[in-house]
């Protein structure tokens, strides 16, 4: 049983009162700072986040979530929602707040005939892919298996299959949402359609999504892997790639960027994923290899779960991270020269740059069909500063590298940015990222969460 003990939090008394209420109503656990399991509960992917929540409501059912929302509101506690816990900025773990932890709600039900999965709020990309695979089906997910599907989907959802099947949010068919008053509602194309529109891109700003229905897809198989080029060839390979992808097929998704080679120095990587006819994929990937003289080529038929595992190996839990992002319209000479300059100046062997090519099916969704604000072809640029923690480590140096790369790209970048990866303080860019959809999104916020209880992605008035 949870031990009720005083905490150092300014919300201590409210937290104790909320914990007592929840202990009497919840099926799941309630954790306070004095509890042995509290320290593990507050650890998320980014070890640099040191938030100290007032308490955790580790939910097992929708009724648990409803009780937790009501308790937070009744006792004046700010709240946040933890799904996969993969937000670099730590928004899932509200300092001095009540965390609605969905990590125990990870059930996946697959209707193979309808090609639909019903998933609970704590399901990760890996959970969904593993449940779909026995039926010969795949879902649009992120590149990382540990990422929570709810947070990914509500904010956007770039991934290896985005060019073929759209963003993760384009594959959302409906959701069950707990509102700020604890009421459970359904949002889909026919019921609460305005809320359904807002959920697809507006993030967790309207309630707690306890379950979702997502579209699945049948593909002939995946051909994927990584091609590493020596740093001396970075500029010609990037220029060649920029020309090659002008006519890229929907079936081709590519992540391109910079990471460390065996000696710790930078290498250029291309990570293609082909989801179409295998022989055509082999031809296209051979053309990508021919852009230079690769140091390493590892491409082959691959299961989606193994593809996610390939990226998981580079995203270590507990390591410290700082992420900056930009949208750029194309790999212009200016963008390429900037990437090369900052690729050389990385401050850690774990630091990387990754560009996600947004094209194909995702660009053919009308911009006002969902809240997501950018539907033209572009690249999402991630500057991912990563370093091992230690007493002698100056984190400022690493953070500054990411910020400097972002600022260097700013003059040639598109307005705004990807809300799922922008920091909470970047409110102006969040607003610009929604473009003309921001007015309708604010209207939905005033209707569904007028007291601003939920603020996963800030929507300034």
At 394 the pLDDT is: 84
DSSP string, 102-165: -TT---EEEETTTTEEEEETT-BHHHHHHHHGGGT-B----S-TTSBHHHHHHH----TTHHHH
Output the pLDDT for position 274.
Answer: 98
Structure pTM? Answer: 0.94
Ranges of residues in the chain with a pLDDT under 50 are: 1-9
Looking at residue 424, what is its pLDDT?
A: 85
Cα distance between residue 269 and residue 260, in whole Å = 10
Whole-angstrom distance, CA of residue 130 vs CA of residue 190: 30
Contact between residue 153 and residue 178 where contact means Cβ atoms under 8 Å apart:
no
Q: Where do the domains of the chain lie, and which CATH numbers do they carry? A: 12-101 (3.30.43.10), 108-218 (3.30.465.10), 222-412 (3.40.462.20)
């Amino acid at each position: 049983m949870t031990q009720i003990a005083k905490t150092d939090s300014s919300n201590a008394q409210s937290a104790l009162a909320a914990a007592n209420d929840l202990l009497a109503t919840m099926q799941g656990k309630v954790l306070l700072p004095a509890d042995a399991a509290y320290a593990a509960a507050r650890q998320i992917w980014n070890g640099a986040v040191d938030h100290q929540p007032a308490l955790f409501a580790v939910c097992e059912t929708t009724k648990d979530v409803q009780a937790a929302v009501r308790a937070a509101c009744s006792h004046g506690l700010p709240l946040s929602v933890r799904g996969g816990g993969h937000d670099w900025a730590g928004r899932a773990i509200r300092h001095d707040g009540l965390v609605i932890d969905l990590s125990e709600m990870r059930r996946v039900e697959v209707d193979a005939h309808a090609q639909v999965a019903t998933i609970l709020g704590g399901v990760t990309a890996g959970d969904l892919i593993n449940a779909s695979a026995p039926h010969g089906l795949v879902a649009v997910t992120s590149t990382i298996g540990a990422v929570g599907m709810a947070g990914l989907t509500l904010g956007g959802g770039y991934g290896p299959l985005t060019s073929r099947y759209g963003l993760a949010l384009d594959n959302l068919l409906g959701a069950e949402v707990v509102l700020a008053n604890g009421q459970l509602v359904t949002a889909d194309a026919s019921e609460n359609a305005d809320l359904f529109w807002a959920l697809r891109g507006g993030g967790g700003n309207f309630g707690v999504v306890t379950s979702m229905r997502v579209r699945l897809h049948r593909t002939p198989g995946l051909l994927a892997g990584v091609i590493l080029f020596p740093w001396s060839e970075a500029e010609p390979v990037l220029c060649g790639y920029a020309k090659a992808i002008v006519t890229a097929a929907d079936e081709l998704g590519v992540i391109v960027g910079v990471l460390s080679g065996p000696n710790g120095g930078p290498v250029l990587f291309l990570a293609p994923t082909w989801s179409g006819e295998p022989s055509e994929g082999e031809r296209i990937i051979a053309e990508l290899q021919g852009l230079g003289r690769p140091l390493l080529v590892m491409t082959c038929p691959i299961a989606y779960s193994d593809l996610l595992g390939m990226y998981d190996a580079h995203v270590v839990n507990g390591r410290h991270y700082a992420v900056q992002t930009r949208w750029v319209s194309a790999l212009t000479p200016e963008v390429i020269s900037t990437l090369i300059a900052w690729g050389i100046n990385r401050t850690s062997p774990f630091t990387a740059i990754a560009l996600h090519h947004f094209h194909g099916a995702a660009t053919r969704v009308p911009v006002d069909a969902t809240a997501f604000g950018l539907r033209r072809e572009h690249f999402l640029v991630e500057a991912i500063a990563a370093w091992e923690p230690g007493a002698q480590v100056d984190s400022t140096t690493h953070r500054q590298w990411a910020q400097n790369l972002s600022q260097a790209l700013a003059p040639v970048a598109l307005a705004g940015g990807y809300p799922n990866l922008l920091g909470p303080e970047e409110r102006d860019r969040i607003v610009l990222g929604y473009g003309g959809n921001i007015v309708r999104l604010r209207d939905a916020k005033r209707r569904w969460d007028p007291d601003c209880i939920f603020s996963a992605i800030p929507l300034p008035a």
